[in-house]
Structure 1
């Protein structure tokens, strides 16, 4: 394998890794990659119901074709005067009920799993505003840590990418924000959601989280992210003229990185973020060198 081939392969791995960690890719169809147990179940249930729907559609199509051929005017010059069939009436009443029961059982189990908050390690409060999100870390020792998260405009993306030491592709249009919500990996997080003005909705597809932010009410959900990376969501409730410009960005980091970031962020958030990005970049560089070494050995 030539050096050009090695470089191309390495570039492909980097792009694949970026797509995997963000949970999305260009022109994507279907659900984002799952990084929580709840989203695993949602993905399974989506495929499960799709199979049932496909079987029903094919069955109905077969019946239509059968009726069109068998009961056409050419095949039956004298039309049947049959008005009903007791067995058919019973079957098309009982079978749909059984199908709905088969769908309902895993559906109720999934709803219970989403709403039943397990023993959690930390709590984050998300407050919706027109048109951005505010985050508060409410656990002991982090009471002073809070900030607003505002979408990065198109004319700011290049500047933000340079400041973070990342490529422009890693500052996605209409999704990147100035301050990410930082969460430690393999940690059960209780998410409290409310609003200061109108109804918003906190939606994070890769986590399987979607919960309304209602003024005067505190709703709760939870997630447990098992992979590091940056994951994106959006407000999913029409909340005014800038509803489409109210993204959510959650950066999942190692527990050591989070502890260091949280301690520094309470005094200086910008400096803490710079140190966090430097730590992440150093980790990626080491991982990339390891991947390139493996590719080079394989090429030999």
Structure 2
């Protein structure tokens, strides 16, 4: 869960989000080093009253500052491409869930079980209980088993939406007439919140996502009560 004034990522709840955070830290380290080097060179050029002929014109210097950035881009591109393919991979899911975006709520359908589907609406502020989050809590949470490969099939019934859970590393467009899929695995129990990340209309900010990760016995108990 995000905290007030937080400027970093939420704690990772899936292996893919861990990899996203590691890549972010790697890219920021490279960016800070480049910024520091360029800032130091600019400072020395401004404060140095005598111009250096080696800096103003020199084949060796021009060769270096052309090749070195290309090498740095390779060190950024390779892990980025690896992560891109990992995010797009679906590894033998044990559970498939259909997610449909509406104006302005989400509906979920457990395709592996008969007659198990429900809508998920945001709880109004005047109906919130103590300890729940305003604009994030819903009446029916999405329940998934932890340490299980889950596939979400995402679509929309009306306009563009985006099914997003930051701590899980999930952000997938819900497009009318198109079925997109994403695979995720929850490493720990808890409730993970998200919101629609596509401007879908007047109540865009009032269709949150709440996913609860539970152990397998608790998941089976929940299924038995709802099927």
Q: TM-score range by the shorter chain?
A: over 0.9
Higher mean displacement: 90-99 or 182-191: 90-99
Q: Counterpart of 2:114? A: 143
TM-score normalised over the length of structure 1: 0.73
1:31 matched to 2:6: no
Equivalent residues in 2 for 1:189-200 (5 A)? Answer: 189-200=150-161
Per-residue CA shift, 1:193-235, capped at 9, x if unaligned? 0001111111111111111100000000011001111000111
Cα shift at 1:83: 6.0
Q: Counterpart of 1:257? A: 218
1:42 matched to 2:42: no
1:89 matched to 2:89: no
Q: What is the CA–CA distance in structure 2 between the aligned matches of 1:30 and 1:184, rounded to whole Å?
A: 27
Cα shift at 1:48: 0.6
Any stretches of 5+ residues in structure 2 without a counterpart? none
Equivalent residues in 2 for 1:49-64 (5 A)? Answer: 49-64=27-42
Q: Counterpart of 1:217? A: 178
Q: Counterpart of 1:9? A: none
Q: What is the number of residues matched between the two proteins?
A: 227
Secondary structure of 1:89's counterpart equals helix
Shift in CA distance, 173/62, structure 1 to aligned 2, threshold 3 Å: same
1:120 matched to 2:93: yes
Cα shift at 1:85: 2.0
Per-residue CA shift, 1:121-166, capped at 9, x if unaligned? 1000110111111100001xx2211011111111110xxx2xxxxx
- Across the aligned residues of Structure 1 and Structure 2, the Cα RMSD in angstroms comes to 1.6
Cα shift at 1:84: 3.1
Cα shift at 1:257: 0.9
Cα shift at 1:245: 1.1
Q: What is the CA–CA distance in structure 2 between the aligned matches of 1:211 and 1:97, rounded to whole Å?
A: 31
Q: What is the CA–CA distance in structure 2 between the aligned matches of 1:99 and 1:59, rounded to whole Å?
A: 13
Any stretches of 5+ residues in structure 1 without a counterpart? 1-22, 162-167, 267-300
TM-score normalised over the length of structure 2: 0.95
Cα shift at 1:66: 0.7
Give 1 or 2 for the bigger CA radius of gyration: 1
Alpha carbons 2:143, 2:213 under 8 Å: kept: yes
Q: What is the CA–CA distance in structure 2 between the aligned matches of 1:81 and 1:103, rounded to whole Å?
A: 30
